[in-house]
Amino acid sequence: MTYLRYRDDIETLEPDEQATIDGIIQGMTQQSEVVEKREQHAVRASHAKSSACVVGTLTIADDLPPELAQGLFAEPGTYEVAIRFAQGPGETLGDRVSTHWPAPVEVVRR
């Protein structure tokens, strides 16, 4: 695999990219409105139900190869993290309902 080091000039915006973004926002808003009416309160547009929450430590090694030492991983260090595992759908499904695996992960830096 060949890695590409990030630079601001790498990304090329498609001519209709803003229309695509607007469509995604509209769809997620509609989904949230439907679920809010059904459940009588607002929920997230995706990953509405947490499956687990954990806290821990993220250690960024000091010997990462250059292609991996980018962004948050550019400098070695240790960070406290809180991680939320969640179902994918934007509604609170029962635990017996199978969604996809692995579950999405959100990492929040403190």
CA distances 34 to 42, 83, 98, 105, 108, Å, are: 9, 28, 21, 24, 28
Q: Give me the residue label for tokens 């139900």.
A: 49
pLDDT of residue 82: 92
Give, rounded to a whole angstrom, the gap between the first and last alpha carbons of the chain.
Answer: 33
Instruction: Give mean pLDDT in consecutive 10-residue pieces for the chain, a chain of 110 residues.
Output: 81 91 90 84 73 91 92 93 78 68 53
* Gap between the Cα atoms of 45 and 26, Å rounded: 11
pTM of the model as a whole: 0.51
pLDDT of residue 9: 87
Query: Are 79 and 110 spatial neighbours (Cβ–Cβ below 8 Å)?
Result: yes
pLDDT of residue 40: 86
Instruction: Parse the chain into domains and list their residue ranges.
Output: 13-44, 46-110
pLDDT of residue 91: 66
pLDDT of residue 34: 84
